Structure 1
Amino acid sequence: MLKKETERIITSVRRAALPPLLAALCLFAPAAVRAQEAAAVLSKGSGLYFETFLAFQKALGRPITSSDLSKEKPRFRSDLKAAVAFGSLAAAFEYPPRTKVIYLLAPGYRPKTTGGRFTKIAALPEPAQALAAYRELQPGLKRLAVLFDTRSAGAYPSELAAAAAPFGIEIIPVSLAGPSEFPDKLRGLAGKADAFWLLPEPGLINRTSLMVLSEFSCSSRMPFYAPSGGLTELGAAAAFAPNFSEAGAAAAEALKKALAGKPLPEKIYVPRPELTINEPFIKKCGLPIKLPAAGEAK
């Protein structure tokens, strides 16, 4: 019954404007966050931004001032303590100078200022967790190619390399300036890697590039690990990544700490990433993947 009601609410969200639904949600919530103590800002009040906001709102357990940047430009008081930004546009919004900003669903976004004011809810799994998951899935994994956008990857490839040593895995960094470089870069991996993992890079991901990656994976029998679970069905072996519900819950927990005056790190990894496996693709291509036994979660 609860599942049907949740699906009904999400469906209505996609058809209606943001503010009325937020008002409705507030009717069922406990005591509200004090005015201008905190705010939520969405790049757009629909799709994944809003669905993640729903998970955030549920985990927070109380309503919060919210804005949809596609419809309005919010004005905040100078004493706003913290803001949670959903999407790159919301993360880049000009908040009051002393406002703590927690942002998510913003791959590639980098704050202009540092000094502990910004905290990112990572779209990637914690490196050691990811390596453990892929090694369990692919016991023969010794060389993992990591594909990323030259312009936005940040420190994650080097963090992976540092975490890989205890697993006996070599990380092969492969930087790309655009999707057109995939064919040549992939050909260069032949005989040099056991699998390749595409990081969540908007500038590299489109239907054509995913088709190229999938076809190379199948023809070379080299597993392709996708940046998110939803993309595995387009032709990847698996994905180990945070789901949007967990990301929203992590943002809510970070906000609670910020409002309590506790320090936050520059990056927070979602504690429980989700492993998604495309069994039909694995079997069709004969990939060296250890599939879960019957009855185990996939």
Structure 2
Amino acid sequence: MLFKKLALLLLLTAAAGPLAAGDTIAVLSEASGVYWEAFSAFRTGYGEKTPYFDISVKKPVIPPGTRTVVAFGSAAAKHPYPPGLNLVYALAPGYIASAGARSGAAVKISMLNPPGQLLAGLKELQPGLKRLLILWRAPGFSIILQDYVAAGAAIGMEVSLARVKREEEIPGLLRAAIGKADAFWLPPDPLLFSPSTLDIFKGFSLGNAMPMYVSTKGLAQKGACASIGVSFPQIGLAASDAVMKLHAGATLPPIVYPESSQLTLNASAAKRCHLDFPAAAVAKAEEIFP
């Protein structure tokens, strides 16, 4: 009997970190890569002994006394947790958790900078930027991107949105922007990117000298003129800050935008787009690809 109980306990915790007593657990879509990078930073901010589950291996078991689940990745964020728990989730682009059936808080840590901060950063890179096109595909962005339209209006920038329903539409949407946009920006939309669509975006940008901006360092390296975004450790630290605020009794908005930003430049792409980055912007870059 004792052996069976021990075997059951090992089975329940096989996909988890040590389940020490505490009020917070983490659930990762996978205990590796960017999810682990963000979670490691979360532990630095919140507690090195925070237990975790790898949902790709096993469904999480919520220990008694848990107040908050911190989810890293879309699969982890979409898991049906008890509605009374707080849910802080990150690295789930294009997904917004429904708060309707929850009594606990649902707080998304965005992979983006605040709208005003992002647009100001783009304008610093391209001072003549007055018209910006944003393409998107995942349903969750229909809500998020309205804030960017409003932020653009506040600084005299016309921000237009174009939803991509099918990959075949992308070339036509881009061609329609010629003469109507000074640049285009692509959010971290998982439905928007594939090797073929990236080739389309890059080819249009370089072929028409229309700067392409993105939100991740990797995409800047692959041919965008620049990326302004949030690093994975910054996302993890923002998640730890959100949990501490919730436990202190604070009420947080449905989406929290990390204030820290990471700027990456691509010199060759910028040259093809006739873009000369100001010295002040270059000085802020964490990395410049040749």
Q: Could you say which TM-score interval applies, normalised by the shorter chain?
A: 0.7 to 0.9
- Equivalent residue for 1:292, pick from 268, 279, 283: 279
Amino acid at match of 1:162: A
2:32 matched to 1:46?
yes
Task: State the match for 1:246 in structure 2.
Answer: 234
Deviation of 1:162 after TM superposition, in Å, equals 1.0
Amino acid at match of 1:254: A
Residues in 2 aligned to 1:36 and 1:89: alpha-carbon distance in whole angstroms = 23
Contact 1:224–1:238 at 8 Å: present in 2 too? yes
**For residues 274-289 of structure 1, what are the structure 2 equivalents within 5 Å?**
274-283=262-271, 285-289=272-276
Residues in 2 aligned to 1:157 and 1:86: alpha-carbon distance in whole angstroms = 22
Structure 2 counterpart SS, 1:103 = strand
Deviation of 1:261 after TM superposition, in Å, equals 2.6
* 1:225-270 deviation per Cα after TM superposition (whole angstroms, max 9, x unaligned): 0131221111100111111110000001111112223222211101
Task: State the match for 1:56 in structure 2.
Answer: 42
Contact 2:94–2:138 at 8 Å: present in 1 too? no
Amino acid at match of 1:290: F
2:255 matched to 1:267?
yes
Residues in 2 aligned to 1:157 and 1:237: alpha-carbon distance in whole angstroms = 21
Listed as ranges, the gaps of 5+ residues in structure 1 are: 1-16, 24-32
Structure 2 counterpart SS, 1:40 = strand
Residues in 1 aligned to 2:138 and 2:59: alpha-carbon distance in whole angstroms = 32
Structure 2 counterpart SS, 1:57 = helix
Amino acid at match of 2:41: A
2:93 matched to 1:107?
yes
Residues in 2 aligned to 1:294 and 1:213: alpha-carbon distance in whole angstroms = 24
- Equivalent residue for 2:54, pick from 34, 54, 68: 68
- Equivalent residue for 2:210, pick from 199, 202, 222: 222
Amino acid at match of 1:104: A
Q: Report sequence identity in percent.
A: 37
Residues in 2 aligned to 1:127 and 1:237: alpha-carbon distance in whole angstroms = 19
Contact 2:125–2:281 at 8 Å: present in 1 too? no
Task: State the match for 2:145 in structure 1.
Answer: 157
The count of corresponding residues between Structure 1 and Structure 2 is 270
* 1:269-292 deviation per Cα after TM superposition (whole angstroms, max 9, x unaligned): 011111111112212x14334243
Residues in 1 aligned to 2:248 and 2:172: alpha-carbon distance in whole angstroms = 51
Deviation of 1:51 after TM superposition, in Å, equals 1.1
2:117 matched to 1:132?
no
Residues in 2 aligned to 1:286 and 1:171: alpha-carbon distance in whole angstroms = 20
Task: State the match for 2:6 in structure 1.
Answer: none
Residues in 1 aligned to 2:114 and 2:282: alpha-carbon distance in whole angstroms = 27
Residues in 2 aligned to 1:293 and 1:170: alpha-carbon distance in whole angstroms = 24
Task: State the match for 1:188 in structure 2.
Answer: 176
* 1:22-66 deviation per Cα after TM superposition (whole angstroms, max 9, x unaligned): 56xxxxxxxxx9724110000111111111111111122431121
Amino acid at match of 1:101: L
Task: State the match for 2:78 in structure 1.
Answer: 92
Structure 2 counterpart SS, 1:296 = helix
The two structures have a TM-score, normalised by structure 2, of 0.87
Contact 1:242–1:274 at 8 Å: present in 2 too? yes
Deviation of 1:112 after TM superposition, in Å, equals 3.2
Contact 2:124–2:281 at 8 Å: present in 1 too? no
- Provide the alpha-carbon RMSD of the alignment: 2.1
Amino acid at match of 1:258: L
Moved more, 144-153 or 82-91: 144-153
Task: State the match for 2:68 in structure 1.
Answer: 82
Contact 1:178–1:203 at 8 Å: present in 2 too? no
Q: Alpha carbons of 1:217 and 1:161: their partners in 2 closer, same or farther (altered >3 Å)? A: same
Residues in 1 aligned to 2:72 and 2:56: alpha-carbon distance in whole angstroms = 12
Residues in 2 aligned to 1:157 and 1:289: alpha-carbon distance in whole angstroms = 28
Amino acid at match of 2:43: Q
- Equivalent residue for 2:159, pick from 171, 178, 184: 171
Task: State the match for 1:26 in structure 2.
Answer: none
